[in-house]
Amino acid sequence: MKVQVDAQICAGFSVCLGLAPEVFELHDNGYAVVRTSEVPSELEDAVRKAVSQCPSSAISLTDSLDSESG
């Protein structure tokens, strides 16, 4: 699974950082960025929760297999 944060949509609420600090961090401008685009399997549930709870819906997931086949 891969995760991305859309910088044009992120509003800097930091919900994702609270749920999965191993995957997300805050950029100097106060908005979330992804530390590692490939989500470790043990953190997938936390990242899915971050996606569902992001107030601005700035986080998206893709299946690693989908991105490799394209």
Read off the pLDDT of residues 31-64 as tens digits, 9 standing for 90 and up: 999 999 799 999 999 999 999 999 999 999 998 7
pLDDT at 69 over 50: no
Domain ranges (residues) in the chain: 2-69
Query: Using CB atoms within 10 A of its CB, is residue 30 exposed (0-12), middle (13-18) or buried (19+)?
Result: exposed
Task: Summarize pLDDT for 3-31 with one digit per residue, the tens.
Answer: 999 999 999 999 999 999 999 999 999 99
For 2-69, CATH number? Answer: 3.30.70.20
Q: CA–CA separation, 61 vs 44, rounded Å?
A: 10
